Every structure is written in C-alpha cells, then in structure tokens.
Amino acid sequence: MPTYPASREICALGGMIANNAGGEKSLIYGQTKDYVEELKVVLSDGEEHSFSKINKQELDKKKEQPGLEGQIYKKVYDLLDKNFSLVKASRPNVSKNSSGYNIWDVWDGENFNMAKIFVGAQGTLGLITEAKIRLVKKKSHSGMMVVFLKDIGILADLVSAVLPFRPSSFESFDDNTLRLSLKSFRGFLKALGAKNLFTLGWSFLPEFWLILTYGMPKLVLLVEFEEDSQDEVGRKLNELREKLKSFKVKTKIAATAQESRKYWVIRRESFNLLRHKVRGKQTAPFIDDFIVRPEKLPEFLPQLYKILDNHKLFYTIFGHIGDGNFHIVPLMALADEENRKKIPIISEEIYDLVLRYKGSITAEHNDGLIRGAYLRKMYGPEVYKIFEEIKKIFDPLGIFNPGKKVEANMEYALAHMKRE
C-alpha cells in the first residue's frame, strides 16, 4: 500500500482512508483515494451500503432505487452535475489535497464513484466498515542520495533538476531536526538496530564531520530511487550526482537500504524527537500540512520563515519536498493561555500566504478540528455551500463525527485542545 504515512508502524487503514493519507511514496504513487476500489459504509439509516465506480446507465438505475441510497445518489448527482464547472475550477492546483470533501473525483461526466467522497471525509458522512484496496508490487532494489543544502535560494531549481529522474521519494528535514537527532542519537539505538553506542556513533560520524567542515545545512534532502535492479538504481544515482555538481552542494550516496536507514529514521521520527526531547513545551501541529507547488518555494519559504520567526517560535520543518508539502511542528507551552491565543493568529497568517500561492491548507493530514474553520477561506462561499449540502445529504441529524469539516470553528477547537 504505497500511500502509507510516516506513522506506518501505528496507523490503521481506516484512518488512512478517512484522512486520504499520503506519505513518502506519494510523489509517484499519489494518495489513498487513488487506491480505494470499493467501500462498505453504514449510513444514517443504520444500514450497510456498498459503493464503487459505476457508469451513467448504472447511475440512472441507482437514482431510482427506493430508500436512502437512491435518495443520496440522486441528490449528490444533481448537486455535482449542476455545479460541474464550479467544482472542476475549484480543484486546488497541487499534487495532493485532503481539505474539504473530495467532490472532484465523484462525477467526471461519464462515470460516478460515490466511494471517493468518503475518502478524506473523516467519518463525517458515514462509518466505513470494509474496504477493497488496490495494491502495487514493491520494487526489489533501492538507493538514496542525501543532499545537504545551505542556500534555500537554489531549492526550486534543484527540485526541478531532480524530478525528471522520477525518484520514488523526495523528502526533507531541517537543521533543527538534524540538531535534535545528533544530540539524542542514543534514542536511535533500537530503531537502527545498532548493537551498541559505539557502532551507532560510528554510523553518524560522517554527519558530525560534515557539520564541522561544511557547517550546518539549512535543509537535508533525501532522494530515493526504487528499481527492479541494483544496476538501474546505481545508474540513476550516478547521473543525478553529475547533474547536481553545478549546484555546488554536498551530496552522499547511500547505495543500499541499510545505508539509507538512518536517514529514514530521522525523517520518520521527526515528530517524536520534538515531542520527547524538549521539556516544558508540547508539540502543537496546527500548521503541519500545507502544500504549494515546488516552483514557488524560493519566494514562499522566506516569507514563511519570517512569519514563524516574528512569532518567536521554535519549530522543525520536515516533509515531502518533491511536491512542496511541508510539516511544520512548533513547540509551545499550551498551558499558557497567551500561547493558545497565538494559534488562530499564526494560522491566519500562514494560510493567507499559502492561498496567495494557490496552495492547500492540508495535503494529507486533513482538516480535523484545527483546520476545518478555514475551509470557507480556502474555497470561497460557493464551494463551501456545496460541502454543506453534501453533509446534509448524508448526515441530516449531524451525528457523524460532529465538529469537523463544515461544522468546525476555532473556538470549539481551542476549547478541546490538549494543554499538558
């Protein structure tokens, strides 16, 4: 299942579907919505219904069915067909999006797939009981290039140079993440399978030496290739290394999965590192999943850093650099009411910036309590009205996961925030 998130060790398939999850392989494999073939869902009538892709003739028959299912097919079709051009034009121009209801993949003018609207709906339309999922065959060989970047001004050009090589993953983490990792690498002992601290320290020696001789990189980029032969992996790595020479960046090739493992552990454990290693503050992932097109990053990132620094936040940035999807996790003392008051202020500033660059406020983590309040800002009143109608069609009593999506507001979110 190639859309697994970084939390793959503890996540559940139902959560992946409800969030429309993506992850380190989404650059070439897309999001969970692309792999859902069929869903069984308990609707507001208390009955289980099955949904999958059907053609126009089958749709016409479904609309004539008695009971709730027939009503839903008729109402959703009428709503989406009437607003077909508006829906098409409102699709965010980014490679991933999990904000709002997935109204874009239900009706294309020829086929109708109601299963798609439940993917990313966070349980607000019905209860998913069973899923039929398409899988892919995993490539048997992999290799990684690690790029140490000090000047983010060349980031967009570098990303543009890498993407034509079609890496299976193109990830990143920042200098704060690397510092935390090097300070607490004892905690990686089990994750890396190192026998003792000496062997673990030896494995990190190149990184310590790099910082001493080159300085702390602003970003560390992970470019991984997966192929059916090791020769093909090696060819792509060598060609990419030649391509990046003109950028005058430090690179390191981890030619096997074992060599690249420590970088994946740092990337996947970024959130846990921050959560456990800084005393007196909590992770506050409220601006943790926006996305903008990669070519916009040189203009976008300096403005992003300026907003964060103006609010004097300590944070890490990591995520999927290949598609411009960043996870920012500030550390805040949430027991302090003044800090909690900053959350909507910072959110407004960040999302204004994201939307100015035609991005999405959430690529793969979804809206939940903390971002649902910004759906009207992101899509405008007409599309927001469609979301409201979708909710009413499926859940007229408002009993499925209330407080999310169209019912969300910041006051409710702040009132239910963990403070310790």
Tens digit of each residue's pLDDT (9 = 90 or more) over 34-44? 999 999 999 99
Q: Does some domain include residue 2?
A: no
- Residue 407 pLDDT more than 90? no
Mean pLDDT of 330-336: 88
Residues 158, 74 within the same domain? no
Alpha helices in 316-419 (DSSP H): 337-356, 368-371, 375-379, 381-394, 410-415
Instruction: For residue 107, give the 3-state DSSP assignment.
Output: strand
Find the domain containing 265 and state its range: 141-275
Coil, strand or helix: which one is 75? helix
Please name the helix (run of DSSP H) or strand (run of DSSP E) that holds residue 209, with its range, or none. helix 205-214
Give dist(CA 316, CA 329) in Å, integer. Answer: 6
CB of 359 within 8 A of CB of 92?
Answer: yes
Instruction: CATH number of the domain at 357, please.
Output: 3.30.70.2740
In this structure, the answer to whether residues 56 and 82 fall within a common structural domain is yes
Residue 320 zone, left/alpha/beta (φ > 0; ψ -120 to 50; rest): beta
Q: Whole-model pTM above 0.75? A: yes
Count other Cβ atoms within 10 Å, centred on residue 420: 6
3-state secondary structure of 156: helix
Residue 62 CA: distances (Å) to CA of 54, 69, 191, 255: 9, 8, 51, 53
Q: In whole angstroms, what is the distance from residue 255 CA to residue 230 CA?
A: 9
Give the residue carrying structure tokens 């609010």: 311
Show which of 107, 133, 159 is a domain's final residue.
133
Residues 115 and 151 placed together within one structural domain of the fold:
no
Please report which confidence band the pLDDT of residue 282 belongs to, taking 50, 70 and 90 as the band edges: confident
- Under a CB-based contact definition with an 8 Å cutoff, are residues 247 and 157 in contact? yes
pLDDT: is 165 or 211 the higher one? 165
Which range among 8-17, 114-123, 195-204 shows the weakest confidence by mean pLDDT?
Answer: 195-204
CA distance between the termini of the chain: 35
Q: Is residue 420 part of a domain?
A: no
User: Which pLDDT score, from 0 to 100, does residue 213 have?
Assistant: 82
Q: Kindly report the CA angle at 208 between 207 and 212, in degrees rounded to 5? A: 115
Same domain, 331 and 211: no
Q: How many structural domains are present in the chain? A: 3
335 pLDDT band (50/70/90 cuts)? confident
- For residues 271 and 151, membership in a common domain is answered with yes
Residues 366 and 303 in one domain: yes
Please report, to the nearest 10 degrees, the dihedral formed by the alpha carbons of residues 406, 411, 414, 415 taken in order: -110
Arithmetic mean of pLDDT, 20-45: 97
Answer with the one of 275, 291, 324 that is the final residue of a domain: 275
How far CA 128 is from CA of 13, 124, 204, in Å, comes to 11, 10, 44
Residue 95 lies in a domain: yes
- Does one domain contain both 368 and 295? yes
What per-residue confidence (pLDDT) applies to 17?
A: 98
Residue 190 lies in a domain: yes
| Nearest Cα to Cα of residue 325 among 23, 3, 15, 17 | 23
Percentage of the residues of the chain whose pLDDT score is greater than 90:
70
pLDDT of the residue at 254: 87
Least confident of 149-163, 184-198, 273-287: 184-198
- Predicted confidence at residue 393, as pLDDT, reads 98
407 with 289, same domain: the answer is yes
Packing angle of the helix pair 68-82, 381-394 (nearest 10 deg): 170
Residue 261 located in a structural domain: yes
**373 and 263 share a domain?**
no
Residue 200's domain is classified under what CATH number? 3.30.70.2190
User: Which amino acid would we find at residue 18?
Assistant: A
The pLDDT mean for the chain works out to 90
53-92 pLDDT, tens digit per residue, is 999 999 999 999 999 999 999 999 999 999 999 999 999 9
**Domain assignment of residue 409, yes or no:** yes
| Lookup: tokens for 218 | 């602003």
* pLDDT of res. 179: 80
pLDDT attached to residue 20: 98
Are 390 and 75 contacting, i.e. CB atoms less than 8 angstroms apart? no
Tell whether the model's pLDDT for residue 211 goes beyond 80. Answer: no
- How far is residue 286's CA from residue 281's CA, in Å, rounded to a whole number? 15
Give me the mean pLDDT over the 26-34 stretch: 96
* Greater pLDDT, 203 or 198: 203
d(C-alpha 317, C-alpha 153), whole Å? 16
**352 half-sphere exposure, CB direction, 13 A CA radius:** 8
Of 133, 155, 190, the residue that ends a domain is 133
Any domain includes 296: yes
Mean of the pLDDT values across residues 115-123? 98
310 shares a domain with 214: no
Residue-wise pLDDT tens digits, 213-271: 888 899 999 999 999 999 999 999 999 999 999 999 999 998 666 678 878 877 776 66
Q: How far is the CA of 48 from the CAs of 18, 45, 133, in angstroms?
A: 17, 9, 18
**Element (DSSP H or E) covering residue 71:** helix 68-82
Same domain, yes or no: 296 and 336: yes
SS3 400: coil
Instruction: Tell me: do 258 and 363 sit in the same domain.
Output: no
Question: Is residue 387 situated within a structural domain?
Answer: yes
Tokens representing 322 are: 């290949």
Helix axes 175-183, 205-214, angle to 10 degrees: 130
Mention every residue, 6+ apart, whose C-beta is less than 8 A from residue 309.
none
pLDDT band at 321 (very low <50, low <70, confident <90, very high): very high
Position 271 scores a pLDDT of: 65
336: phi then psi, degrees, rounded to nearest 5: -85, 120
